Structure 1
């Protein structure tokens, strides 16, 4: 934007400077031409007077001497016609067609006293002529070939000075335009950056008030708006977390009352009705657990986006995968599934990643829980790939998977595929994994591989090979 504004202002200022310079150059040329014309006409009038009173040979000699002295002094040619005689001095050529044409006009009592505006880039001389005589006839004429070299040199020097001054003025005006545009646009750029940062980090950035009064007022208004938005988002997160937490006690009380009701009713209790109530209570508890985990994950992500992330640990993904496979093996066998861990790829055993160990375990558990729900009865492949700057944890099932257009929506809150909405679930698992992996500087990749199923890749930034790792998988 600044370049566009400078381009428009610079072009306009340069155009104005160019127009003023052209007018000034033309004025210099006209003034110089006028000065030359007045001085040469005065000289022509003097020779007209001398020619008018030159009657005999002695006068003619004096006239020739005057002409020669003038030509030697000014370097200009003179041609005086007197009766049938012609007197010349300087380099004027009486046989020149232009000189002859001027003489014939003078013989008809037509003078030529105008000089075209002098250009410093031309080489032609100017001719001025004036007839003389009495009231009844033309006795003769004076033709002067005006040397314009000196005038051209003076005009060229003046033009050069004007061009230099114009360039200096243009440079100064461009510098002034640059400072003015910076004064106006710098607050706009800061405001644009603050808007982008607010959208990314959901936290306001202090803005320094600068620029015109209108932009200062706009900065203050944005600051108040951004702070209101950040406070509102924080209150929403706190409300969700506190509401979920507070709902645990009533739900626990309801479950206790259901258990007491079953004891009191004994055989009179309807098993199907009681089971339905317990299922709904379990569903609400699962939902509250998911909302709490999601709120915690989004809080971690907001901390990283705001530029104050917690120091990440250094973990060995292969070790955490091995521990999680051992922990989940019983649940997998109950569902007729097999967890197949493959750590034979080069560097997979020693690869280190920058990530919070507890959060990585939570991510792996969420992905496996998703496999148990939607890919029951089939195998699940787990592996680690060292990619140099990043480490990939790959978990793939062989269930129904997701369609290509559903992969981008799988990490949204409460989103569930059409084919799995009849199955139990909250639609929060992948959303939690996505927030946690991004909070640790990584990326969640979902793919539909050949052969069916869903492949989940947790891509985490790699850690240095010399980093110490504790027994729990965290940095020691």
Structure 2
């Protein structure tokens, strides 16, 4: 019965999935093409701005050098034409403005209109994407800046998206088939309900749950025995895990205490030692959390009371002791601004957050770097400011996104995860991260966390 039902329903589900996949595939290709087009449009706009003065003065040597450097850096040919379609500056020779795709783009651009977005990228199509922007002065078109954007990576991305789509459709087909067949066959499989309920009990942590195997069919009895054996193994593994965490946290306390005593003695002589002392304290807090975790998982053991609020200003000042030495070693200036005491959640990882912000300021910004802690209504604000180039309005909205990096810093080492970690740490205690351009230039990253009302200075 189940086989016959599957033979009639599965083809229908497949047809419906294919019908649904066509617009989704088109969306993937169109979206990838639009993203590539918009990203390169910003570069074309920049070239159009840079070409305005050379087109008027006739001094195109610097413009040609910019085109060559851009081509070498991004593997994207670029050229600039005047209003008569003469190539003024190019990153590679052999540009033919009469090529159909170039002619269409230049017809629109030199007429003062932005060219239409290119067609969707499909893996089986080849060729370059043309991105053109007019060079305008006082409303008069002087020429056009044109990029011939390679599309191999975009087409590879579309191919991966289509493969994921096919995989998702296969999973969806399986889910639909199971969802239709299950109600029909449920009455046949009623003896398995006990096993299903027991599984849910185990997922909720009741590892001592067992199923009865009395009076069952041989197949179900074997399944029940296997389930009970698995539940017993899980229960024993969890017990061993609790014992390991408890023993490890207990064994770590003594060497950590000893290490702290020795480093505390050295901290009177060296700021770097005080920096290490704060790391020892942080490791100690981790061990305490492990100990509480092991205790909280044991029945009949209550968790310890909540810790006292953390003075954010004091925690920042202690961490800055080590960072001042790091900055001084690199001939960078680190300024400690106003430090207003304010209580925050004790689980806020201040050291981790400050390490990311100061490391980013040193790598991507410019000195001096200023750190301050202020109160703003019901929030305590830790702000790190540098005096670098800052970020544009579009980039400011993307700060904290995973793997995002500014176009000015993509050639520098990094993963694009630092600020995402900071945002996650702040959100864990109900806080947020704000990036803004300060007066005088540069960039300010603010970590805003709730102020604990009952905190006493």
Q: TM over 0.5: same fold?
A: no
Q: TM-score range by the shorter chain?
A: 0.3 to 0.5
How does the TM-score come out when normalised to structure 2? 0.36
How does the TM-score come out when normalised to structure 1? 0.35
Structure with bigger RCO (C-alpha 8 Å, 6+ apart): 1
Q: Which has the larger radius of gyration?
A: 1
